[in-house]
């Protein structure tokens, strides 16, 4: 039983989705869904706690299952190394929070909504625990398709257009990455898709430089679209603006990290020469495009949810910069950043929706003074904002700091530009908090208050928010809980002399 | 109990207090206040016992390792930290006790005291930190606590704006600070304060850029020109907060940080000169601004700015080489500037906290009237406040024998020896200080009450008076360094003290400056409800007011017109270009795979998919190397 935990964390939400679709009464469906979200979260916490101390370089909890595709070199191999573990934990916890928030949301056709979220959750748990890159990709698609449906059916304004745009962009991104992944497999000459085998094969005999450049380019832009690399990001604010909150939480919080995870875990280590070739353009796109241009655009937003969406695109700039440094410090910063950002952006989407339920609008110019009615909501929101702008004591700080440290060695000029992001994010973050909560209510909001006096956060909203807050504080105070296994894996995958040079085969 | 242990408890107790208040005591304001105040007492006890038993130690643990980067957390408890922790502990406790009375009827007492606890934690972190990354961590946290405390009366738009401004302006300074720390990390391979000192003194060259970037942090936190704009606005916070955070401790953290990295400046004299001028300009500019203010807290705020400028200038004056009379050898005080700055920081913490709390007592007594032209006659109605406030005023204007006299003299003497123009600026600022403080003092306490609020003024309770008395005693006696024993010797021994003829000169200058400023103010300002300077010399008054307002106007213009419009312009451009280029069916990808733009107009999803697959096949061929 315990040796199949990772499989169980994928199977449980799937099973819950199947049971719910079979036609349970709503109350029972909610219960089953709670189980379906709670089990992966508990398993994630369990493997995190029991992750062998001092290791992380190798895959732990590893299990292989036959799928009938062995002839193609495809096996379902599940396992976690120090890079995958943080993402797996992130998926489990954000999944639980998003699930609980969805259960209380009172959405129409709630059962179908929950079933789709559960399938998405299964895909997320699978993507980050797959050692086999075929299944890594497969599980991503499994999570992606319900996203489109949820945006299209349960979305807010412009949902049709948003769903269409998201589908096109993300499908293209996924296809490009698939091509890249297959190219690695094909060019490596390995006998299967298993990442461990691939790495060993490539260590003995690397891919020639020119080909690496092509493949890395494919992966960089493919994954880049998925992670909203500027200028391929336009789907993100639109999609998140329209998406129902739990779908936005899971996508922005977790699924989006698939691309960065692919770069850190697969592309950079396996294609070191290609990565070196592309590092500079990637860093410039990230810093000028994501951090500065999108940062300024975030300042100009009037819609709270769009603002959170844009801020999430902006923060990906730090992550891409970290990837581009091609060093263990940078990659470690990226992983910490991914996890922290996942928690904080999910929390912000959750709280923004809770704000919406009280103000009946996402328009920042029609709110004000909400703290007087909802002090707990305000405290949570300010904390989440502080997390997202990198206040120490909350998880995001560590990622940003290590990325800056790594970036200085890579390019001081880019570091100076990137660090200006801390000012930009403070401007839009605090501005939004002030507009929503402080001062006096605007006229429009005063009318809403008179009609339907807002209440403070209910427990059903508080619990998912507290899960995310607790994670942010825990990692913020005790980064070692993630960094120890992470560092062990990085030392293996990113040997200390960066950029990595491997043998150039002919 | 070992010293390490006491230090850790002292550091972590306020964190625990803040956490308990946030989690459990949100609705129990009185309990929260008690818990927070007891914690402050514990901090004062812990800090003073560590400082005065002479325990000096350091220790470190690693907190985060990734690749070849390790971030350590550690404690460096030397004489400098001991001095600072004593100041923070004593003033912190006074402010907590004062708050018990001042915030007694506040609806959000728990949030207020929780904020004070989180502030104490953050401030102690800066004081105890043994490396720059750790200073930065707590540096950000004091900024956060300052943010929530300025925003205490959050239903006021002005408070919301002020808190936001404070945080963002500080972030601008921290931008440079963080870059400086990272540059330091690569230049010396460490950010540990002791190791940096060793390396620099061992001869490692220091690029002036590094100390200057680090100085940016101090410019933000200690509100030096041009990042001073946030401090006067921060007066929106409750008055005890202004006393603790925006006068005595947090804003002084910039000076403390500079003293921590003094060797870097000693090795880069250019940086030191910049620091000196920034400080001198701030001292003069803020003193000029203070003259036209009519809000009691704003006067004190500009006075704080000016005094912070004094400290920064003192630091920038650097080492002191003198030839004592009758001796042949040269006498050198290597860290004279830092010591003079720390000395003034200490006395200023006492007398400025005293005056802020005194103004709190006045505001409390006058039912939240803050306009000095609507006060008057409070000397009789509020005896304790009057007596203690008077001691504070005498201390800051440099009355011989009181604390401010000694520390200001040390700075003036150092300036006289090292740099004449700065000496003249600082002496003139001292005239202005005596001028505006006397003005404030006369208008508030003398004559007849000029408003209902003032005529019904009354002294507050015991918890308001006791801290005033304690701080008044310290303001009177705090300048006698002998009183502290030898526990702060590393700092005190470097204070520049004039001897012989220099001593006479500096004494004459100092007394003349005080008499000139105070006397002029005494003659000019009669207790009245209008500003005498505005009446007698409207041109000068308008000029001074303009001096203050031009900065605020420039800031507002930047925020409203430049920043926001630029952001909207960027958004507009992006919309045009990206929707034009990219939305149109992935023109980026399409361009890559060589599809014609015509395909864009096919419009149906099916067509996209086919074209895409075609393009994908070509890419695949590229990736496979068949086309190479």
Cα–Cα distance measured from residue A84 to residue A205, given in angstroms and rounded to the nearest whole number: 25
- Is A490 close to B66, i.e. CB distance below 8 A? yes
DSSP state of B414: H
User: Do the Cβ atoms of B231 and B162 come closer than 8 Å?
Assistant: no
CB contact under 8 A, A391 and B140: yes
Measured distance CA(A243)–CA(B588) in Å, rounded: 25
Q: How confident is the model at residue A501 (pLDDT cuts 50, 70, 90)?
A: very low
> Is A172 in Cβ contact with B588 (below 8 Å)?
no
Nearest to A398 among B64, B138, B608 (CB): B64
**How many Cβ atoms sit within 10 Å of the Cβ of residue A205?**
13
Instruction: Find chain A residues with C-beta within 8 A of B141's C-beta.
Output: 391-393
Helix (H) or strand (E) holding A26: helix A26-50
C-beta of residue A370 within 8 angstroms of C-beta of residue A378: yes
Distant-in-sequence, close-in-space partners of A154: CB < 8 Å, separation ≥ 6: A107, A108, A113, A244, A247
| CA-closest candidate to residue B263, choices B343, B333, B193, B313 | B193
Cα dihedral A287, A292, A297, A303 sign:
positive
List the helix and strand counts (H, then E) for chain B.
28, 4
- Residue of higher predicted confidence among A295 and B612: A295
CA distances from B428 to A403, B284, B422, B441, B512 (A): 47, 8, 10, 20, 11
* Out of A231, A440, A496, closest to residue B157 by CB: A440
B625 to chain A, any CB pair closer than 8 A? The answer is yes
- Cα–Cα dist B326/B348, whole Å: 35
Among A172, A210, A409, select the one facing B612 at the smallest CB separation: A172
Do residues B608 and B587 make contact, with C-beta atoms less than 8 angstroms apart?
Answer: no
Measured in angstroms, the CA of B617 and the nearest CA of chain A are apart by 9
Q: Are B402 and B366 in contact (CB under 8 A)?
A: no
Reported as a pLDDT band with limits 50, 70 and 90, residue B528 is: confident
Among B141, B608, B628, beta carbon nearest to A393: B141
Strands B320-322 and B331-333: antiparallel
B317 pLDDT above the threshold of 70 = yes
**Gap between the Cα atoms of A181 and A134, Å rounded:** 8
- Residue of A332, A409, A427 lying closest to B66 (CB–CB): A332
Task: Report which of A360, A317, A361, A324 is spatially closest to residue A341, judged by C-alpha positions.
Answer: A317
Query: Can you list the alpha helix ranges (DSSP code H) found in A106-234?
Result: 110-129, 133-154, 159-188, 195-204, 209-226
Confidence of residue A214 (pLDDT cuts 50, 70, 90): confident
* Sign of the dihedral through C-alpha B517, B520, B526, B531: negative
Q: What is the pLDDT of residue B603?
A: 45
Q: Please, which pLDDT band fits residue B144 given cuts at 50, 70 and 90?
A: very high
DSSP of B428-487, one letter per residue?
Answer: HHHHHHHHHHHHHHHHHHSSS--SHHHHT-----HHHHHHHHHHHHHHHHTT-GGGGTTT
How does residue A2 score in pLDDT terms, banded at 50, 70 and 90? Answer: low
Give CB contacts under 8 A, 24+ apart, made by B265-269. B265/B211, B265/B315, B265/B318, B266/B200, B266/B318, B266/B319, B266/B334, B266/B335, B267/B200, B267/B205, B267/B206, B268/B206, B268/B207, B268/B208, B268/B210, B268/B211, B269/B318
* Average pLDDT value for chain A: 87
* pLDDT of B604 higher than 50: no
Counting one residue from chain A and one from chain B, the pairs whose CB atoms sit within 8 A come to 185
Under 8 Å between Cβ of A424 and A418: no
Per residue in A147-185, pLDDT (tens digit) is 888 888 888 877 888 888 888 888 888 888 888 888 888
CB contact under 8 A, B68 and A496: yes
Nearest to B168 among A423, A487, A498 (CB): A423
Nearest by CB to A372, which of B155, B157, B620? B155
**Contact assignment for B63 to A406 by CB distance below 8 Å:** no
Report CB contact under 8 Å: B570, A293.
yes
Give the B window 546-585 contacts with A, CB below 8 Å: 563-564, 566-568, 570-571, 574, 577-579, 581-583, 585
Q: For residue B140, give how far its alpha carbon lies from the nearest alpha carbon of chain A (Å).
A: 7
**pLDDT of A453 above 60:** yes
DSSP A381-421: HHHHHHHHTT-TTSTHHHHHHHHHHHHHHH-HHHHHHHHTH
Q: Three-class SS of residue B219?
A: helix
Residue B204, pLDDT score: 81
Contacts of A404 in chain B (CB under 8 A): 178, 182
Of B621 and B357, the structure prediction assigns the larger pLDDT to B357
Looking at chain A, which residue has its C-alpha nearest residue B570?
Answer: A297
Query: What's residue B395's pLDDT?
Result: 93
ipTM over 0.90: yes
Taking CB atoms and an 8 Å limit, are A329 and B161 in contact across chains?
no
Q: Which residue of A has its CA nearest to B624?
A: A183
Instruction: Find which of B26, B66, B207, B611 to mutate to test the A interface (most A CBs within 10 Å of its CB).
Output: B66
Residue of A nearest to B19 (CA): A473
Q: Which residues of B touch A285 (CB under 8 A)?
A: none
pLDDT in tens, A119-142: 999 999 999 999 888 888 889 988
Radius of gyration of chain A (CA): 22
Task: With a cut of 80, say whether residue B620 has pLDDT above it.
Answer: no
Any A CB within 8 A of B144 CB:
yes
Give the whole-angstrom CA distance, residue B316 versus residue B258: 10
Q: What angle do CA B463, B466, B469 make, to 5 degrees?
A: 155
Please tell me if residue B539 touches chain A, with a CB cutoff of 8 Å: no
| The pLDDT value given to residue A69 | 67
Please write the tens of the pLDDT for every residue from B195-218.
Answer: 999 998 888 888 889 999 999 999
DSSP count for chain A of H helices, then E strands: 23, 2
**How high is the pLDDT of residue A60?**
82
DSSP A362: -
pLDDT, position B610: 58
The answer to whether the CB atoms of B168 and A210 lie below 8 A apart is no
Residues of B within 8 A of A438 (CB-CB) are: 151, 154-155, 157, 159-160
CA distance A234 to A228: 7
Q: What is the pLDDT of residue B606?
A: 52
Determine, for residues B67 and A427 on separate chains, whether the beta-carbon distance falls below 8 Å: no
DSSP secondary structure code for residue A255 in this structure = I
HEC-encoded secondary structure of A311-347: HHHHHHHHHHHHHHCCCHHHHHHHHHHHHHHHHHHHH
Burial of B60 from C-beta contacts in 10 A (0-12 / 13-18 / 19+)? middle
Of the candidates B66, B136, B161, the beta carbon closest to that of A483 is on B66
- Give ∠ CA A395-A398-A399 in degrees, rounded to 5: 95
- Listed ranges A187-191, A500-504, B142-146, B604-608; the one with the highest mean pLDDT: B142-146
For A231, the closest of B137, B174, B582 (CB atoms) is B582
pLDDT at B534: 82
Q: Both ends of chain A: CA-CA distance in Å? A: 47
Inter-chain contact A391–B141, Cβ cutoff 8 Å? Answer: yes
Choose between B579 and A396: higher pLDDT: A396
Residues in chain B closer than 8 A to A302 (CB atoms)? none
Contact call for A404 and B583, based on CB within 8 A: no
Is B71 in the A-facing interface, judged by CB distances under 8 Å?
yes
**Closest Cβ opposite residue A329 in set B68, B175, B612:** B68
Q: Which residue among A331, A405, A434 sits closest to B182, beta carbon to beta carbon? A: A405
B185 touches chain A (CB under 8 A): yes
**Chain B interface mutation, best of A296, A368, A407, highest count of B Cβ atoms under 10 Å:** A296
Q: Would you give the DSSP letter of residue B207?
A: -
Distance CA A374, CA B575 (A): 36
> Could you give the CA distance from residue A92 to residue A89 in angstroms, rounded to a whole number?
5
Q: In which band, very low, low, confident or very high, does the pLDDT at B546 lie, cut at 50, 70 and 90?
A: confident
Residue A389's closest chain B neighbor by CA?
Answer: B171
The helix/strand/coil state of B625 is coil
Q: Which pLDDT does position B367 carry in this prediction? A: 86
The reply to whether B174 touches chain A by the CB within 8 Å rule is yes
- Residue B592: its pLDDT value, please? 45
What pLDDT, in 10s, does the model give residues A19-43?
988 888 888 888 999 999 999 999 9
Three-class DSSP category at A233: coil
Task: Please say whether the beta carbons of B313 and B279 come within 8 A.
Answer: yes
Q: Closest residue of A to B577, CA-based?
A: A231
B171, with CB counted inside 10 A (0-12, 13-18, 19+), is: buried
Q: What is the tens place of the pLDDT at every residue in A303-352?
A: 899 899 999 999 999 999 999 999 889 999 999 999 999 999 999 999 99
Residues of B in contact with A221 (CB under 8 A): 589
Least confident of A444-453, A473-482, B408-417: A444-453
């Amino acid at each position: 039983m315990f040796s199949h935990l990772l499989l169980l964390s994928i199977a449980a939400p799937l099973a819950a989705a199947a049971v719910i679709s079979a036609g349970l009464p709503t109350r029972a469906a909610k219960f089953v869904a709670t189980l379906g979200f709670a089990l992966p979260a508990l398993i994630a916490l369990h493997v995190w706690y029991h992750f062998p101390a001092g290791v992380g370089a190798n895959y732990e909890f590893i299990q292989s299952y036959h799928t009938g595709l062995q002839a193609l070199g495809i096996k379902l191999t599940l396992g976690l190394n120090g890079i995958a573990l943080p993402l797996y934990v992130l998926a489990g916890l954000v999944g639980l929070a998003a699930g609980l928030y969805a259960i209380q949301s009172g959405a129409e056709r709630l059962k179908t909504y929950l079933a789709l979220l559960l399938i998405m959750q299964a895909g997320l748990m699978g993507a980050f625990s797959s050692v086999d890159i075929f299944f890594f990709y497969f599980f991503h698609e499994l999570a992606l398709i319900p996203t489109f449906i949820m945006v299209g059916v349960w979305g807010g304004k412009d949902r049709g257009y948003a769903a269409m745009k998201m589908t096109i962009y993300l499908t293209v991104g996924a296809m490009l990455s698939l091509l890249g992944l297959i190219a690695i497999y094909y060019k490596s000459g390995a006998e299967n898709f298993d990442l461990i085998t691939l790495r060993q094969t490539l260590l003995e005999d690397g891919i020639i430089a020119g080909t690496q450049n092509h493949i890395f380019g494919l992966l960089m832009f493919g994954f880049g679209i998925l992670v909203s690399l500027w200028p391929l990001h336009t789907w993100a604010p639109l999609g998140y603006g329209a998406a129902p909150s739990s779908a936005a939480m899971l996508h922005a919080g977790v699924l989006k990290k698939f691309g960065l995870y692919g770069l850190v875990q697969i592309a950079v280590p396996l294609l070191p020469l290609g990565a070196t070739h592309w590092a500079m353009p990637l860093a410039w796109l990230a810093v000028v495009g994501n951090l500065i241009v999108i940062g300024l655009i975030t300042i100009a937003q009037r819609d709270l949810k769009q603002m959170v969406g844009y801020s999430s695109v902006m923060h990906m700039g730090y992550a891409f910069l970290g990837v581009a440094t091609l060093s263990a410090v940078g990659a470690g910063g990226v992983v910490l950043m991914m996890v922290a950002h996942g928690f904080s952006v999910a929390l912000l989407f959750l709280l923004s929706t809770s704000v919406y339920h009280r103000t009946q609008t996402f328009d920042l110019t029609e709110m004000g003074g909400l703290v007087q009615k909802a002090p707990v909501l305000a405290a949570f929101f300010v904390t989440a904002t502080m997390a997202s702008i990198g206040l120490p004591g909350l998880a995001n700080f560590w990622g940003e700091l290590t990325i800056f440290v790594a970036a200085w060695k890579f390019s001081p000029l880019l570091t100076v530009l990137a660090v200006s992001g801390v000012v930009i994010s403070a401007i839009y973050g605090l501005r939004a908090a002030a507009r929503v909560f402080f001062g006096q209510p605007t006229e429009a909001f005063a009318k809403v208050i008179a009609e339907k006096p807002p209440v403070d956060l209910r427990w059903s909203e508080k619990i998912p928010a507290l899960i995310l807050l607790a994670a942010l504080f825990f990692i913020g105070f005790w980064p070692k809980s993630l960094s120890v296994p992470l560092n062990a894996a990085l030392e293996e995958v990113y040997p200390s002399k960066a950029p990595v040079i491997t043998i150039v085969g002919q | 109990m070992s010293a390490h242990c006491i230090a850790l408890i002292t550091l972590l107790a306020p964190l625990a207090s803040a956490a308990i208040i946030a989690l459990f005591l949100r609705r129990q304001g009185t309990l929260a206040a008690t818990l927070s105040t007891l914690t402050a007492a514990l901090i004062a006890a812990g800090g003073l016992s560590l400082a005065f038993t002479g325990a000096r130690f350091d220790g470190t643990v690693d907190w985060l390792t990734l690749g070849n980067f390790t971030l350590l957390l550690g404690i460096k408890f030397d004489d400098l930290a001991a001095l600072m922790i004593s100041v923070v502990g004593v003033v912190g406790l006074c402010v907590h006790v004062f708050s018990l009375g001042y915030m007694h009827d506040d609806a959000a007492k728990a949030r207020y005291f929780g904020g004070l606890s989180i502030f104490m934690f953050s401030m102690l972190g800066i004081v105890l930190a043994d490396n720059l990354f750790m200073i930065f961590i707590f540096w950000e946290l004091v900024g956060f606590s300052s943010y929530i405390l300025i925003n205490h009366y959050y239903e006021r738009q002005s408070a919301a704006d002020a808190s936001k401004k404070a945080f963002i302006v500080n972030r601008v300074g921290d931008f440079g600070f963080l870059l400086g720390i990272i540059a330091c990390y690569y230049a010396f391979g460490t950010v540990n304060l002791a190791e940096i000192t060793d390396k620099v003194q061992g001869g490692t060259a220091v690029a002036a850029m590094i100390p200057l970037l680090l100085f940016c942090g101090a410019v933000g936190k200690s509100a030096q020109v041009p990042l001073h704009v946030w401090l006067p606005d921060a007066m929106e916070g409750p008055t005890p907060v202004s006393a603790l955070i925006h006068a005595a401790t947090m804003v002084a953290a910039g000076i403390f940080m500079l003293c921590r990295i003094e060797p870097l400046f000693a090795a880069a004299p250019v940086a030191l000169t910049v620091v000196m001028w920034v400080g001198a300009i701030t001292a003069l500019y803020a003193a000029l601004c203070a003259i036209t203010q009519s809000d009691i807290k704003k006067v004190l705020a500009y006075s704080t700015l000016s005094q912070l400028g004094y400290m920064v200038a003192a630091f920038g004056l650097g080492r002191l080489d003198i030839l004592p009379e009758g001796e042949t050898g040269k006498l050198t005080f290597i860290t004279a500037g830092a010591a003079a700055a720390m000395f003034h920081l200490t006395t200023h913490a006492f007398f400025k906290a005293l005056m802020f709390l005194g103004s709190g007592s006045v505001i409390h007594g006058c039912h939240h009237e803050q306009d000095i032209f609507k006060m008057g006659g409070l000397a009789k109605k509020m005896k304790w406040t009057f007596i203690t406030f008077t001691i504070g005023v005498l201390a800051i204007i440099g009355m011989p024998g009181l604390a401010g006299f000694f520390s200001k003299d040390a700075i003036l003497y150092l300036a006289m020896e090292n740099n004449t123009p700065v000496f003249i600026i600082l002496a003139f600022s001292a005239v202005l200080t005596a001028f505006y403080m006397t003005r404030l003092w006369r208008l508030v306490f003398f004559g007849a009450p000029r408003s209902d609020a003032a005529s019904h003024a009354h002294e507050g309770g015991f918890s308001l008076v006791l801290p005033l008395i304690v701080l008044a005693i310290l303001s009177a006696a705090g300048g006698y360094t002998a009183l502290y024993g030898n526990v702060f010797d590393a700092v005190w021994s470097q204070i520049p003290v004039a001897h012989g003829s220099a001593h006479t000169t500096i004494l004459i200058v100092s007394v003349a400056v005080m008499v000139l400023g105070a006397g002029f103010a005494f003659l000019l300002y009669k207790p009245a409800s209008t500003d005498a300077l505005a009446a007698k010399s409207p041109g000068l008054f308008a000029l001074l007011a303009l001096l203050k307002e031009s900065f605020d106007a420039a800031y507002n213009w930047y925020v409203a017109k430049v920043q926001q419009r630029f952001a909207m312009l960027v958004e507009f451009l992006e919309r045009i270009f990206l929707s034009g280029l990219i939305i149109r069916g992935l023109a980026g990808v399409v361009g890559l795979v060589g599809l014609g733009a015509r395909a864009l107009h096919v419009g149906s999803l099916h067509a996209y998919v086919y074209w895409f697959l075609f393009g994908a096949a070509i890419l695949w061929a590229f990736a496979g190397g068949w086309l190479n």
